[in-house]
Structure 1
């Protein structure tokens, strides 16, 4: 799945900040990874199921999905989603038991509900143009700041700046995905932010996200260690994707921008971690 980096990246970024703050136990990092992967894989299955049974994927431009293409039974895909949410839930329960931050169970329930109702239920918020808002909150703020909090019991200003950066890049993944699907989503009645904005404004939105991520990267470094500027290596990939998008790419050509955006997020977070490691080594 091309979106898996959106699960790993916030945990990597959160680990970098937790380490810089002074505490990053590896067993908690591992639990955070399981939580994030379970949620992201689960939401992919959930979207596959919900969009498939609604008929949204009947004329899909991108890679074929399991339900929409008829490759898998809808019930099987739905159960796979619930199974992934279950794995994430168990890991979350262990994480709060280990750290003592029991109130985070409420956040965990909210994450699962947000994952399911993105395209599931009678009034999915993904069909109302609110996908970017929830992705920013849960794939950025919650995932990154939540990791930092589980590791160290607090979130510094640098942690929040990193969380914003992760949320903005995750939004970039969604924007490029929905840009590709504007025609099919419009035909299916799926009113994403991109169908409302139209192609020209959506392309400019992506460029704006890249600019904002760059600012966040510099801000994280200013608030922690300047070695964290290594995160800007990820921005080079985002700039490459922006050039393709601003160049007017459509259809399957946008699959490359989805990959570049996902990898840009991963490299951005890895740059933060590498910068923190250098900072720690230099004492």
Structure 2
């Protein structure tokens, strides 16, 4: 369901971890803001409609984070089963091959997270609509089949589209719907730039892993269009996200406070520049990290703009 399921093998540490850090890194914490930000955006948009149920917000937030984490677990497990992860793999993935965690433990932990999410989903449905259960199950299926199943989504050019759609669009719309009982065009518009920045995380991941993915038979978007065009596409995605916020401001779908997202431009610029001329995965780690941080900053700054908009109503 989510960017990595967003499935990055990546960002913070190249050294084996021990103790609780093994489990923390197994969650791929840099991807979790991509679970938090959409829920926050959807809930804040509901707040602007004078509708807020704290219990629903917390349940949705936890369920979203758990589904994201479960997806990362499945990614870890299936990358191991298919021989993609080795002790030399770059990033924070590979807990099975580097830290000795049993594969079945990782798989069962992922399903356990799904189980808790289902319980939270029942609570959400009881207070909103049982249609949420249908959408939630589809999201979980997307998370599992991102790297699981006979033809994993991660092996196709549709990874960015799927991650951006489910995480950036669907989660925002669900978060808004459970609070208000409806969907508005404004909410859909706000989900688009978030979807783009979430998809950018996966594109950056695939640029970094291009050579290894190609060797292992993947046909990601980065592989199909080539490294240089993929970097250009990444830059274009960032530009589109910022221009879309300008569009919403000019046409009255949000206030000028949303232009706070411009403060994240230096991070986006740094991410793109750090990819240029690099071919080794370890050289592209700063670019990968900066891309994830751009999504985080963009989302939080947009959230701050919405909070200010609510306060000044």
- TM over 0.5: same fold? yes
Name 1:86's counterpart in structure 2: 115
Aligned pairs for 1:49-60 (under 5 A) are 49-58=77-86, 60=89
The correspondence for 2:103, drawn from 71, 74, 84, is 74
Q: Verify the 8 A CA contact 1:136 1:170 in the aligned structure 2.
A: yes
Q: How many residues align?
A: 282
Cα distance in structure 2, aligned partners of 1:134 and 1:273:
23
The correspondence for 1:240, drawn from 270, 273, 277, is 270
Name 2:38's counterpart in structure 1: 10
Confirm or deny that 1:41 pairs with 2:76: no
The correspondence for 2:225, drawn from 197, 209, 219, is 197
Which stretches in structure 2 are left out of the alignment for 5+ residues?
A: 1-28
Bigger helix share: 1
How far has the Cα of 1:189 moved from its partner?
A: 1.3
Aligned pairs for 1:88-107 (under 5 A) are 88-99=117-128, 101-107=129-135
Deviations 1:9-51 (A, max 9, x none): 1112112212223323222211111111011111111100011
How far has the Cα of 1:250 moved from its partner?
A: 4.0
Deviations 1:187-223 (A, max 9, x none): 1112222122221111111011101111222234330
The correspondence for 1:270, drawn from 269, 286, 300, is 300
Q: Verify the 8 A CA contact 2:278 2:284 in the aligned structure 1.
A: no
When the two chains are superposed, the root-mean-square deviation of aligned CA atoms in Å is 1.8
Cα distance in structure 2, aligned partners of 1:239 and 1:151:
36
TM-score, scaled relative to structure 2: 0.84
Would the alpha carbon gap of residues 170 and 77 (structure 1) be closer, same or farther in structure 2, given more than 3 Å must change? same
Cα distance in structure 1, aligned partners of 2:266 and 2:286:
14
How far has the Cα of 1:70 moved from its partner?
A: 5.7
Confirm or deny that 1:62 pairs with 2:86: no
Aligned pairs for 1:101-140 (under 5 A) are 101-140=129-168
Cα distance in structure 2, aligned partners of 1:163 and 1:91:
23
The correspondence for 2:202, drawn from 174, 181, 187, is 174
Cα distance in structure 2, aligned partners of 1:157 and 1:234:
25
Runs of 4+ more than 6 Å apart? none
Identify the range of structure 1 (266-275 vs 195-204) with the bigger mean alpha-carbon deviation.
266-275
Deviations 1:218-255 (A, max 9, x none): 23433022212223323432222122223546412322
Cα distance in structure 2, aligned partners of 1:36 and 1:132:
18
Name 2:4's counterpart in structure 1: none
Report the secondary structure of 1:57's partner residue: coil
Cα distance in structure 2, aligned partners of 1:217 and 1:148:
19
Cα distance in structure 2, aligned partners of 1:249 and 1:206:
16
Q: Verify the 8 A CA contact 1:45 1:80 in the aligned structure 2.
A: yes
Would the alpha carbon gap of residues 89 and 257 (structure 1) be closer, same or farther in structure 2, given more than 3 Å must change? farther
Would the alpha carbon gap of residues 282 and 149 (structure 1) be closer, same or farther in structure 2, given more than 3 Å must change? same
Would the alpha carbon gap of residues 14 and 231 (structure 1) be closer, same or farther in structure 2, given more than 3 Å must change? farther
